[in-house]
């Protein structure tokens, strides 16, 4: 039977997973935020970028709270 080993559920692994997700979300928050700022600067703001940025920031806050809980 393949994959029969027991998965690890210790605190260090969970914290590292949360850190990986938080890093991914933070990276895309910065990218989308810079893109939205550029669009505003050139006079063509985008509602879609603003909504995506809002969702990313909410995800960042959730990941940060989860990370603080696991510390």
Q: What is the pLDDT of residues 48-59, one digit of tens each?
A: 999 999 999 999
- Are 22 and 67 contacting, i.e. CB atoms less than 8 angstroms apart? yes
What's the predicted TM-score (pTM) here?
Answer: 0.79
Report the alpha-carbon angle 26-24-6, nearest 5. 135
Amino acid 43: pLDDT? 94
- In whole angstroms, what is the distance from residue 47 CA to residue 36 CA? 9
Amino acid 2: pLDDT? 61
Which residues does the chain have with pLDDT short of 50? none
């Amino acid at each position: 039977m393949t994959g029969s080993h027991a998965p690890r559920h210790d605190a260090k692994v969970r914290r590292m997973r949360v850190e990986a997700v938080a890093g991914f979300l933070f990276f895309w928050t910065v990218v989308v935020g810079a893109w939205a700022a550029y669009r505003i600067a050139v006079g063509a703001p985008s509602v879609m970028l603003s909504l995506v940025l809002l969702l990313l920031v909410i995800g960042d806050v959730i990941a940060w709270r989860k990370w603080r809980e696991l510390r």
